[in-house]
Structure 1
Amino acid sequence: MNLLFVFADQWRGGALGYAKEDPVKTPNMDKFCGESTYCDHTFSTFPVCSPHRASLMTGKYPLSAGFFTNCKKGLSLRLKDEEICVGQVLKKSGYETAYIGKWHLDEPEQNICEFPKSGARDWDAYTPAGVRRHGFDYWYSYGTYDMHLSPHYWHDSDEMIKVNKWSPEHETDKAIEYLSKIRDKSKPFAMYISWNPPHSVYSEVPDEYLKLYDDVELKENVIFESIHHHTGENAAMSKEELRLTTKQYYAAISGLDKQFGRLMGFLKENNLYEDTLVILSADHGDMMGSHGLMGKHVWYEESIKIPFVLHVPGNNNKRCYTCIGSQDMMPTVLGLLGCSIPDTVEGEDCSKFIKGAEDRNRVSFIMACPGRADFVEKFKKAGKDPAEFGWRGVRTQEYTYVMELGYDVISNPKRYLYDIKNDPQQKTTLDLEKKENKKLAKKMEEEVIKWMERQNDGFLKNWNSKL
């Protein structure tokens, strides 16, 4: 069986027509959801690009893989050479492996050289052939670069390839080219495609998709006064500016839908669809003004809940309610393909849930750390490790519970408990002074503490608050 794993950046689970939450038009993806296993309790363990991607590739929790923030300029942070990743396992199992699109798991080249030969700037990086590609043979990728209408890539040299086409469309072109002309057709293929949109810059989207949303309206829980990021950056905009940004966000998703339709059309036309495990997902969501916030990095559903839809030949048209996290994706892929799972993996092979079993009690742990460069500097000057702060939590089928130390060296412990079943937009936190809520919070906190102990998470030594 082949593998095609397609994932977008900053695409929240509700922004899919099949989810019946956001008013987004995704006919091709909706059709795919209807003939696949649709998982509606899948969460980004650490709702930031690089930490999720590290888990996606290694099957480890983000901190275990060394990620407490993005790979960014000024930080010596990348996926370690010794990590055993899904690409390496698939290659060893006889697959032709390919990676197309955004990688964002390598250290920015400007950390090493002010003017690298590749032309990479800021957080971007050319990943050379060899161990740093972690088992992916065909490579058409870049580190991170958000000019979606004028993207660039690197193949097998550090010569930058500049393109004048919307990045998801070009990447889909390259994927179809690889599948039809380049791969060794005597072997099964395993391809990961990483689309950057609907990640900001939001305006970087073709006009043809914008026309679909001339009458877009903001969601009920959007607050446009004093919009900001959870980590503090100002993102202020007027109601009309936010409406335009939302229109652009939805438009990008409709653009992805068209490209996804092209991929599915190719597989079906070439008799590959029923011999291919196809997975559609994302690395995290985007608040889009909900709760007055933009971006990710926070525990609300718009940030942590992501699409996870799997077409498993011969086993489809199902709905999975079991909680699944980022670190579960790698072992689940391997389990569905019948490949061995490395001992280094911390996630769980959830293939039994994809095939119809359910576990109402299974949970997804969620977390984030102070990853902004100025925060990192502030903590280091104070002799503190920023990876030991931020927030930790757990998502069950019905509740979200969060323990927060914040982004200051002087921590101010806070707790939040949300009844997602009865309050899906998380408009209120449950009163922890009430006996039944306190009992539930205490039980969930014990689960988070056990998880942190297993992870040897330094957050725990700073959490001195008692319920």
Structure 2
Amino acid sequence: MSPDIILFQVDQLAAQWLPIYGHSLVRTPNIDRLAGEGVVFSANYCNSPLCSPSRFSMLAGALPQRIGAYDNASDFPADTPTIAHHLRLLGYRTVLSGKTHFCGPDQLHGFEKRLTTDIYPSDYGWTPDWEHPEKRPSWYHNMVNVRDAGTAFRTNQLDYDEEVIHAARRELFDVARSEDGRPLFMMVSLTHPHDPYVQRPEYVDLYPLDEIDLPVTRADDVPLDPHSARLRHVSAMDEMPITDEMIRRARRSYYASIAYVDHQLGLLLQTLEETGRLERSVILLTSDHGDMLGERGLWYKMSWFEPSARLPLLVHAPFLFGPRRVAQAVSLVDLLPTLVEIAGGTLDGSVPLDGRSLVPHLVGRGGHDEAIGVYLGEGAVAPLFMIRQGPWKFVASLPDPDQLYDLVSDPHERRNLADDPAHAGTVARFQDELLARFDPHRIREQVIASQKRRRLVDAAMRKGAWTAWDHQPVTDASSAYVRSHLVLDDIDANKRWPRISDS
């Protein structure tokens, strides 16, 4: 029988902030336990350092420009096959709980059941405008989240994630109590540790403020490249002074939110164990992008620097794969072919994919060493490409100077080697490879045309009656709990777990 697959995705978590990647302060006992028994990828990257494009690329196994995943208000076409579609064809029961940031009228994309609504809008209201980069979007990040970081008993984000975990745990029990014998693919997606940097006191108190680390690389330690300058503008990073105390408070609450995420993962693992599914489940943990968290004077994401682009990826399936570390570069588009192979399927060659299966890495038999990314969202004015191969990271955009970093000798990316004559051959090779893969001018034209269409549609939809695309979870109260047309003894027996005969 094919294994159950649980994809646990969090939001805005960079690999470097986790103990399994060397961070000494953050506490994640559940992640640590899974990592000790699983396969940990040390160089996993997003394919776009922004929520929706990253998630769409991951689910489709395709780079952003291929599927029109430009920004957080891009339509995710309903005819794009996703992991859920492929696994559903293989006989899987497909369930989604939590954030996906699907934009457009299709809010399922292959999932036959979606347990919660999204935390972010599904319409075109957040469409950027590359033709007017001087205008800062009023709806985008600013430094208030850093200035006001701290502690709260209740936030919008806590409301959301607790609903996500509760719904996922309840669904796991419902699956266990049902007669449906299909294997399960469940995606559980939290919004933490995404800003605002606020968390409950029991998690914040785990980290004394004076022990919180400050950025390793300050803004004055490195030149300000053009894309980073645009990011400073789009997120208003220069509109208020950010002190070391603010940085420490923001980082403390971010670390606290990682501990919160780890606790929610523990609840999910407990439920998998209680329903007898833990030993037959392939569990994946990853994020959609990282957070600069003050490194280089930058915050949030949208950059190809490591804190924004390198993500955790952990695969726990001791019944299939022994524990190991994988050093080769991989990316989120690789998950679709990986999960299809684990599920026992083969891919239809007529559907173009950019991902490659990670199974060779999982079994310790080689595998590719490459991650490709295309950023097309806020703060850009043209496609911003990234190629990671071996020790090298190459970043290029038509209006900007190239960037080349040796991540082995320079893990904090302080020395741009692109103008070093000793590395001219490496730069030329990457430039040739980029132009062989992409047409930057054509992609830019496509992005701007899409932005114009979406802004027109959004303006029109706001005239007259508003019809929302946001997912509306539907429950049938007439058949919930105890009802007079149902047999009470049957209700109690059917909802009990373990069943009376099993206990």
Instruction: Give yes or no for TM over 0.5.
Output: yes
What percentage of aligned pairs have identical amino acids? 23
Give the Å deviation of 1:459.
5.5
User: Which string of whole-angstrom CA distances, capped at 9 and with x for unpartnered residues, describes residues 21-52 of structure 1?
Assistant: 36311111011111001011110011101111
User: Which string of whole-angstrom CA distances, capped at 9 and with x for unpartnered residues, describes residues 387-426 of structure 1?
Assistant: xx14212112311111123xxxxx3x31111110011111
Match for residue 395 of structure 2? Answer: 402
AA aligned to 1:102 is: K
Rate the CA distance shift 1:315–1:339 in 2: closer, same or farther, 3 A.
same
Rate the CA distance shift 1:198–1:403 in 2: closer, same or farther, 3 A.
same
Match for residue 419 of structure 1? Answer: 406
Q: Is residue 86 of structure 1 aligned with residue 83 of structure 2?
A: yes
Q: Is residue 144 of structure 1 aligned with residue 119 of structure 2?
A: yes
Q: Is the 8 A contact 2:101 2:120 kept in 1?
A: no
Match for residue 15 of structure 1? Answer: 17
Give the Å deviation of 1:222.
4.1
Q: 3-state SS of the aligned residue for 1:324?
A: strand
Q: 3-state SS of the aligned residue for 1:64?
A: helix
Match for residue 109 of structure 2? Answer: 134
Inter-partner Cα distance in structure 1 for 2:53 and 2:411: 26
Q: What stretches of structure 2 of length at least 5 have no aligned partner?
A: 122-151, 447-503
Inter-partner Cα distance in structure 2 for 1:341 and 1:431: 38
Inter-partner Cα distance in structure 2 for 1:392 and 1:148: 41
Match of 1:369 among 372, 376, 385: 376
User: Which string of whole-angstrom CA distances, capped at 9 and with x for unpartnered residues, describes residues 423-452 of structure 1?
Assistant: 111122125232x31111111222222221
Give the Å deviation of 1:168.
2.8
Q: Is residue 429 of structure 1 aligned with residue 416 of structure 2?
A: yes
Q: 3-state SS of the aligned residue for 1:309?
A: strand
Higher mean C-alpha displacement, 343-352 vs 287-296: 343-352
Match for residue 197 of structure 2? Answer: 202
Give the Å deviation of 1:198.
0.8
Match for residue 181 of structure 1? Answer: 174
Match for residue 359 of structure 2? Answer: 351
Q: 3-state SS of the aligned residue for 1:425?
A: coil
Q: Is the 8 A contact 1:228 1:234 kept in 2?
A: no
Give the Å deviation of 1:271.
2.8
Give the Å deviation of 1:57.
1.3
Q: Is residue 393 of structure 1 aligned with residue 386 of structure 2?
A: yes
Q: 3-state SS of the aligned residue for 1:41?
A: strand
- 1:33-48 alignment to 2 at 5 Å? 33-48=35-50
Match for residue 245 of structure 2? Answer: 240
Inter-partner Cα distance in structure 2 for 1:350 and 1:456: 32
Q: Is residue 326 of structure 1 aligned with residue 344 of structure 2?
A: no
AA aligned to 2:197 is: Y
Q: 3-state SS of the aligned residue for 2:413?
A: coil
Q: 3-state SS of the aligned residue for 2:311?
A: coil
Inter-partner Cα distance in structure 2 for 1:148 and 1:277: 34
Rate the CA distance shift 1:180–1:36 in 2: closer, same or farther, 3 A.
same
Inter-partner Cα distance in structure 2 for 1:9 and 1:229: 23
Match of 1:440 among 426, 435, 458: 426
Q: What stretches of structure 1 of length at least 5 have no aligned partner?
A: 72-76, 108-126, 153-164, 376-385, 406-410, 462-467
User: Which string of whole-angstrom CA distances, capped at 9 and with x for unpartnered residues, describes residues 100-123 of structure 1?
Assistant: 11121223xxxxxxxxxxxxxxxx
Alpha-carbon RMSD: 2.7
Give the Å deviation of 1:178.
0.3
Q: TM-score, normalised by structure 2?
A: 0.74
Inter-partner Cα distance in structure 2 for 1:212 and 1:315: 34
User: Which string of whole-angstrom CA distances, capped at 9 and with x for unpartnered residues, describes residues 116-144 of structure 1?
Assistant: xxxxxxxxxxx6xxx54122122123333
Rate the CA distance shift 1:33–1:414 in 2: closer, same or farther, 3 A.
same
AA aligned to 2:231 is: H
Match for residue 279 of structure 1? Answer: 284
Inter-partner Cα distance in structure 2 for 1:279 and 1:222: 33
Give the Å deviation of 1:365.
1.2
Give the Å deviation of 1:223.
4.1
Inter-partner Cα distance in structure 2 for 1:417 and 1:12: 21
Inter-partner Cα distance in structure 1 for 2:418 and 2:207: 39
Higher mean C-alpha displacement, 30-39 vs 264-273: 264-273
Match for residue 26 of structure 1? Answer: 28
AA aligned to 1:319 is: R
Inter-partner Cα distance in structure 2 for 1:444 and 1:317: 34
Match for residue 218 of structure 1? Answer: 214
Q: Is the 8 A contact 1:17 1:24 kept in 2?
A: yes
User: Which string of whole-angstrom CA distances, capped at 9 and with x for unpartnered residues, describes residues 222-260 of structure 1?
Assistant: 449999872622234221111111111111001001111
Match for residue 251 of structure 1? Answer: 256
Q: Is residue 263 of structure 1 aligned with residue 263 of structure 2?
A: no
Match for residue 295 of structure 1? Answer: 300
Higher mean C-alpha displacement, 263-272 vs 77-86: 263-272
Report which structure shows greater RCO (CA 8 Å, sep ≥6).
2
Q: 3-state SS of the aligned residue for 1:230?
A: helix
Q: Is the 8 A contact 2:119 2:160 kept in 1?
A: no
Match for residue 336 of structure 1? Answer: 342
Structure having the higher helix fraction is: 2
Q: 3-state SS of the aligned residue for 1:299?
A: coil
Rate the CA distance shift 1:148–1:96 in 2: closer, same or farther, 3 A.
farther
User: Which string of whole-angstrom CA distances, capped at 9 and with x for unpartnered residues, describes residues 292-336 of structure 1?
Assistant: 100111110001100110012331211112221121111111112
Higher mean C-alpha displacement, 285-294 vs 84-93: 84-93
Inter-partner Cα distance in structure 2 for 1:84 and 1:398: 33
AA aligned to 1:63 is: Q
AA aligned to 2:427 is: A
Q: Is the 8 A contact 1:402 1:415 kept in 2?
A: yes
AA aligned to 2:296 is: H
Match for residue 466 of structure 2? Answer: none
Find the structure with the greater CA-based Rg. 2
Higher mean C-alpha displacement, 1-10 vs 394-403: 394-403
Inter-partner Cα distance in structure 2 for 1:429 and 1:63: 27
Match for residue 231 of structure 2? Answer: 230
Q: Is the 8 A contact 2:153 2:200 kept in 1?
A: no
Q: TM-score, normalised by structure 1?
A: 0.79
User: Which string of whole-angstrom CA distances, capped at 9 and with x for unpartnered residues, describes residues 165-201 of structure 1?
Assistant: 5433332221111001256452211100111111111
Rate the CA distance shift 1:350–1:281 in 2: closer, same or farther, 3 A.
same
Q: 3-state SS of the aligned residue for 2:425?
A: helix
Match for residue 7 of structure 2? Answer: 5
Match for residue 485 of structure 2? Answer: none
Q: 3-state SS of the aligned residue for 1:364?
A: strand
Q: Is the 8 A contact 1:104 1:142 kept in 2?
A: no
Q: Is the 8 A contact 1:41 1:324 kept in 2?
A: yes
